[in-house]
Amino acid sequence: MSDRTSEYRVHTYTAAEPGLFVNSYVIETAEGVVLVDANLLLSDVRALSARIAALHKPLLGVFVTHAHPDHFNGLPVLAGDGVPVYAAAEVADTIARIADAKRVQWQPVYGDEWPDRHRVPDRRLSTGDVVELGGLRFTLHTVGAAESEADSYLTLDHHAFIGDLAFHGTHPYTADGHTRSWLAALDTLTGALDGAVLYPGHGAPGDVGMLADQRRYLMMYRATVGRLAAGAPTLTDAQREELTAVMTRFLPGAPLSWMIGLGADAVAAELAGEVTDDAGAAQIEVVPA
């Protein structure tokens, strides 16, 4: 990868804990700024908007890495009608499908901090597509279901904006129940991103070591859920508390520990489904031709 970092700067806006410590990245060029992910709560979105305005350069475009509200909620505030919003086609489709349901679920919790409307990315991309903004070339890479229903990441020279494919130093969100495919994605990404600086959706930038750390976490989480659930698709309250205790010992001092229990039933159901699928596959009889 070529290194042209003298041509641009990467600024990070990180929300406080109510906003899940989510990162939005502002890439500043001589011609303008490009935003990667749009934050969650309106107070943070407005602060991010002010940060962009303080650069006194136009917003050239926004990328959304995946379809979780902490990455797309701020789009209506941040991106005016003339600002293109880019995302993988499957990410855009997922946002269109889930945004209203997410508002119904979480607006009672967050109140006025949750936006009353959403915006679906209008520039639909496929894996390998290159977008030129501000003299820079961003390449989109789709991953499929991993941390979310549809994940992707962006590369820019030796930088990789990986969304939530790895959480760096915080407990991750597992409630979409795709941990098996997430693990498979991490195995592939380790080689693809070797040598890059990774910018995660939560936590500080780092190298591919954060992918290995995320893999170890998911393996421990799945093993613990599997032991506790013993084939059941849900955990009891006591089992969920034990899971939380195990994972907080595994990642001591890490924030967002409430997300450990949030994903417990989804992963228990995922593991129960894997057992059923594997048993069904074992019963398939291959008849020689």
CB-based burial of residue 110 (10 Å sphere; 0-12 exposed, 13-18 middle, 19+ buried)? middle
pLDDT of residue 15: 98
Which stretches of the chain drop beneath a pLDDT of 50? 1-2, 280, 282, 284-289
Q: Tokens 């855009």 belong to which residue?
A: 92
Count of structural domains, the chain: 1
Closest among 233, 258, 239, 229 to 171, alpha carbons compared: 258
Residue 268 domain flag: no
pLDDT, residue 284, reads: 46
Confirm whether 120 is domain-assigned.
yes
Asked if the structure places residue 24 within a domain, the reply is: yes
Would 177 be classed as within a structural domain? no
Tell me whether residue 246 is in a domain.
Answer: no
Tell me how far apart the alpha carbons of residues 64 and 67 are, in angstroms, rounded to a whole number: 8
Predicted pLDDT at 287: 42
Cα 88 to Cα 141: distance, rounded to the nearest angstrom: 8
Per-residue model confidence (pLDDT) at position 27: 98
**How many C-alpha atoms does 119 have within 13 Å on its Cβ side?**
24
Helix ranges (DSSP H) in 193-236: 209-229
Q: What is the spatial distance between Cα 75 and Cα 67, in angstroms, rounded to a whole number? A: 12
pLDDT at 81: 85
**C-alpha–C-alpha distance, residues 202 and 217, integer Å:** 15
- pTM for the model stands at 0.93
Edge-first strand listing for the sheet containing 151-156: 130-133, 136-144, 151-156, 159-163, 197-200
Which pLDDT score is estimated for 3? 52
CA atoms of 257 and 235, how far apart (whole Å): 17
Q: What CATH number is given to the structural domain containing 34?
A: 3.60.15.10
The per-residue pLDDT for 80 is 86
Q: Is residue 288 part of a domain?
A: no
The answer to whether residue 83 is domain-embedded is yes
Q: Which domain holds residue 91?
A: 8-165
